[in-house]
């Protein structure tokens, strides 16, 4: 068996020692199942990212999850109108922990050019965001970079991130119920 990422191991005869946190982190990071929430041109760039040229599957994301129940990473790519905001929030709430959110493009991150009464001025008004990808729309390379940053988080974060006080207070800021330990 090849080396798993940068997980340090101690190999002996008939046994292998390692750190469970790091193994699980590496496993999570390399099998993120993304749920694409694509509403506009950023969604087209995301499709290119998934396509054979850029091939996001190289990062362990062969399977798009169109059910939030089986998704780890919510990729919001595009303009979110205020009418759509509760839907987005519900999708996020339906995802099981651990979960991450990638906000792709200017619209999802800040409303972008749509400084108007009907558009949500950034998805971080309804759900917490882990990584923002700037651009209008961002190129696939930028989206990949954002996803690699999420992978980095998945690798290095505590496995029990969701039970930390910081995380719980973040969730309560958004009026989202968090898991109890």
Partner 1 sequence: MSSKLNNEAVLSQLTNRFGNAILESSEPYGLLTVEIQSSSLLEVVQWIKDEPSLQVSFLTNIAGVHYPDTTGREFAVVYHLHSLVNNFRIRFKCFLPENALMIDSLTSIYSGANWMERETFDFYGIQFNGHPNLVRILNEDSMDYFPMRKQYHLEDETREDKDDRFFGR
Contact positions vs partner 1 (CB under 8 A): 82-83, 110-111, 115-119, 121
**Cross-strand bridge partners of residue 131:** 102
Cβ 103 to partner 1, closest distance in Å? 14
Cβ 68 to partner 1, closest distance in Å? 22
Cβ 86 to partner 1, closest distance in Å? 8
Cβ 117 to partner 1, closest distance in Å? 5
Residue 111 vs 137, nearer CB to partner 1: 111
Q: Collapsing DSSP states into helix, strand and coil, what is residue 7?
A: coil
- For 102-128, letters b (16+ CB in 10 Å) and e give bbbbbbbbbbbebeeeebbbbbbebbb
Residue 126 vs 144, nearer CB to partner 1: 126
Integer Cα distance of 5 and 57 in angstroms: 16
Residue 59 vs 114, nearer CB to partner 1: 114
Integer Cα distance of 8 and 65 in angstroms: 31
């Amino acid at each position: 068996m090849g080396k798993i990422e940068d997980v340090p191991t101690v190999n002996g005869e008939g046994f292998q020692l390692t750190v469970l946190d790091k193994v699980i982190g590496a496993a999570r990071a390399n099998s993120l199942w993304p749920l694409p929430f694509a509403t506009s041109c950023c969604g087209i760039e995301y499709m290119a990212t998934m396509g054979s040229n850029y091939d996001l599957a190289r990062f362990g994301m062969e399977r798009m999850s169109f059910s939030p129940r089986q998704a780890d990473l919510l990729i919001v790519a595009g303009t979110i109108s205020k009418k759509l905001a509760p839907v987005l929030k519900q999708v996020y709430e339906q995802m099981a922990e651990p979960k991450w959110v990638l906000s792709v493009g200017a619209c999802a991150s800040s409303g972008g050019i749509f400084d108007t009464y009907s558009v949500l001025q950034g998805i971080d008004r309804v759900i917490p965001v882990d990584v923002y990808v700037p651009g209008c729309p961002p190129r696939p390379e930028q989206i990949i970079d954002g996803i690699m940053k999420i992978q980095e988080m998945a690798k290095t974060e505590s496995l029990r991130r969701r039970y930390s006080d910081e995380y719980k207070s973040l969730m309560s800021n958004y009026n989202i119920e968090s898991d109890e330990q």
